[in-house]
Amino acid sequence: MGTTWHATIVETAVFTNGNAIPTTVAFEAIVETLARVDTRMSTYKASSEISRFAQAAANTLFPVSQETCTVVTEALRIAALSKGAYDPTIMPLVNLWGFGPAKRELTAPDSAALQEALNLVDFTAIQSLADETPASLMRTRDDVSLDLSSVAKGYGVDVAALALLASGFHDFYLEVGGEVRTHGNSPRGTAWRTGIDTPESAATPGAQLSGVVHSHNHAIATSGDYRNYRELNGRRVSHTLDARTGHPIAHTLASVTVLHPSCMTADALATAAMVLGPVAGLQLIEDEPQAEAFFVVRDSNRFITTQTSGFASKAKAD
């Protein structure tokens, strides 16, 4: 997935015969699960399901795993909720602005190139057919393809957490590229704590916090404009792009942290809210059942925070 992961696991899990489960079991469960998701949904691997789907003929069923179908279904749902601000077919724009696999020199595209890329972004041309046997994807245009970078990582966290539970581990903190799943108790016997960074560009993670989430069983996903960006003519250009306009976001919202039972959903919602901005993004989360969010907004030379109506209660220990 082009990122790192870490897990903190409380070694209280035992088999019924009283023998402790080797920690190598946890390591293998995480690595194997993330590798499986990456193999199916990577845009960097030519053999992945997503990459091969990009070569499939239009209006024909393309068989995929149930996992890929699940992730695509959710990505399309969030795309519709955001009215296309979030779009899992955005890769042509990502490449155009130099944030894709080939990180070319950043230059502002001209209007013709921008329109050409925009013409290739259309989530309505993708169909996810989970009820087919086997599960399948279909596209109504042969020039539209999928990029699940904003949702597959969260799904990977979900299924890796399930793999840990199935292996007998019940108290853990799992993080993949900044997306988090907690379960049970921390080594202190209390809720796990996740810091929400103040989005200072030069600050190291955890150096300055705008908030803290306490959780026993939460998925937590953050999207922000303060780490993955590039400079163009002295101006910071965010990697987060608005699929409706083709341009990098340029509003005052600096980061969004979403809580939801599903890390897959939290991942996509955080990106969608980041695109929509501090007002429409907040409303998107308020309207989504089971989701809460914490927003950090730039205000001149300082940051201000806002949050959805249920965030404070959900961010406390259950």
User: What's the pLDDT tens digit per position in 5-18?
Assistant: 999 998 765 555 66
Q: What are the DSSP E strand ranges found in the chain?
A: 5-9, 62-63, 126-129, 136-139, 172-176, 179-183, 192-197, 209-215, 219-224, 229-232, 235-238, 253-260, 292-299, 302-307
> Contact, 221 vs 154, CB < 8 A?
yes
* Candidate CATH numbers 3.40.50.720, 3.10.520.10, 3.40.50.300, 3.40.640.10; the one for domain 173-314: 3.10.520.10
Calculate the alpha carbon distances from 189 to 180, 214, 219, 261, 277 in Å: 19, 12, 19, 22, 38
* Predicted TM-score (pTM) of this structure: 0.94
Q: Where are the domains of the chain?
A: 173-314
pLDDT number for residue 244: 97
Q: Write the pLDDT tens digit of every residue in 190-245.
A: 999 999 988 876 666 767 899 999 999 999 999 987 655 566 666 777 889 999 99
